[in-house]
């Protein structure tokens, strides 16, 4: 079998799917009119599947700020922050996010996917343990794989199953990172965060929550599930994305642990 032969069965399946109308995987948006309205194949339609929860993509303040940033900084940084240096906007954004989450530290990444990839692979390595909810996002799974740490899955939203697996680790639980999500994108349900915090405290482990789909949606100020559950001080790391509620692109990790800044030198997806 050659490098490309393995795609043969996929291409056959794809050909069958493309023969079915409408083509649900090849939708082309001709023009956007608003956060929820667009033109597709000559028809004006409502976008029911968007993650644009707050409609900020057409918000005047957001548009004005984007225009101002482009006028002052150009269309891109043309390189990594490690190689090309930090823009003032990078630092200002990190400080704003840290203040928003009442954390001391924050790192921004190019995408939300990279935020999970870079945070997890930077924090954990061989000899460490990652305990992840079975329904976690692909970016979390990929971050775990990149880390080289031992990965243990626990049943979805099941604190008892998590606790059982932590018990089996014994003293190794102190080097374990538990990973859950605020709102799970496939099912739309939320993690029982208080119970997971109890597990984390009982075993002196660490807890990371991905608030990608809950940022701007849950909580009085929009912090996400940590705010609803009232456990912001007990969650070690919060990751999220700008491509949902915030209507842009990018990702971040916020934490009160000073060691987070080490990821600027140890996280390959960040570098």
> In order of start, what are the domains of the chain with their CATH numbers?
5-46 (no CATH), 91-266 (3.40.640.10)
- The pTM score is 0.94
Instruction: Based on the residue annotation, tell me whether 190 is a catalytic residue of this protein.
Output: no
Tell me if residue 9 is catalytic.
no
Structure-token pair, residue 158: 């099941």
pLDDT of 212:
98
* DSSP calls for the chain: --TTGGGHHHHHHHHHHHTSSS-TT-----EEEETTEEEETTEEEE-SS---TT-GGG-HHHHHHHHHHHHHH-S--SS-HHHH---HHHHHHHHHHHHHTT-SEEEEESSHHHHHHHHHHHH--TT-EEEEETT--HHHHHHHHHHT-EEEEE-TT-HHHHHHHHHHHGGGGGGEEEEEESB-TTT--B--HHHHHHHHHHHT-EEEEE-TTTTTTSSSSS--HHHHHT-GGG-SEEEEESSSTT-S--EEEEES-GGGGGHHHH-TTT-
pLDDT at 143: 98
Catalytic residue among 8, 34, 80, 185: 185
**pLDDT attached to residue 198:** 98
Mean pLDDT by 10 residues, the chain (271 residues): 92 86 82 96 92 96 96 93 92 98 98 98 97 98 98 98 98 96 93 98 98 97 97 97 97 98 95 92
Looking at 121, 200, 244, 245, which residue is catalytic? 244
Catalytic: 213?
yes
List 200, 213, 214, 245, catalytic entry: 213
Predicted confidence at residue 255, as pLDDT, reads 98
**pLDDT for the residue numbered 264:** 96
């Amino acid at each position: 079998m050659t490098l490309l032969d393995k795609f043969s069965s996929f291409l056959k399946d794809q050909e069958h799917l493309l023969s079915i109308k409408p083509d649900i995987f090849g939708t082309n948006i001709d023009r956007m009119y608003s956060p929820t309205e667009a033109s597709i194949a000559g028809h004006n339609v409502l976008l029911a599947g968007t993650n644009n929860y707050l409609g900020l993509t057409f918000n005047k303040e957001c548009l004005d700020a984007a225009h101002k940033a482009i006028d002052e900084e150009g269309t891109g940084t043309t390189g990594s922050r490690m190689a090309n240096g930090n823009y003032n906007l990078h630092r200002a954004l990190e400080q704003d996010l840290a203040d928003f989450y009442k954390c001391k530290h924050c790192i921004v990444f190019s995408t939300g996917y990279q935020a999970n990839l870079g945070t997890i692979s930077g924090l954990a390595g061989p000899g460490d343990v990652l305990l992840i909810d079975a329904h976690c996002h692909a970016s979390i799974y990929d971050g775990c794989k990149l880390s080289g740490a031992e990965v243990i899955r626990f049943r979805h939203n099941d604190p008892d199953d998590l606790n059982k697996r932590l018990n089996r680790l014994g003293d190794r639980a102190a080097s374990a990172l538990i990973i859950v999500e605020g709102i799970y994108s496939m099912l739309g349900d939320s993690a029982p965060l208080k119970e997971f915090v109890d597990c984390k405290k009982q075993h002196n482990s660490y807890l990371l929550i991905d608030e990608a789909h809950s940022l701007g949606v849950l909580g009085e100020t929009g912090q996400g599930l940590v705010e609803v559950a009232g456990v912001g001080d007990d969650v070690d790391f919060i990751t999220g994305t700008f491509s949902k509620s915030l209507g842009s692109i990018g990702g971040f990790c916020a934490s009160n642990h000073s060691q987070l800044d080490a990821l600027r030198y140890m996280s390959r997806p960040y570098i």
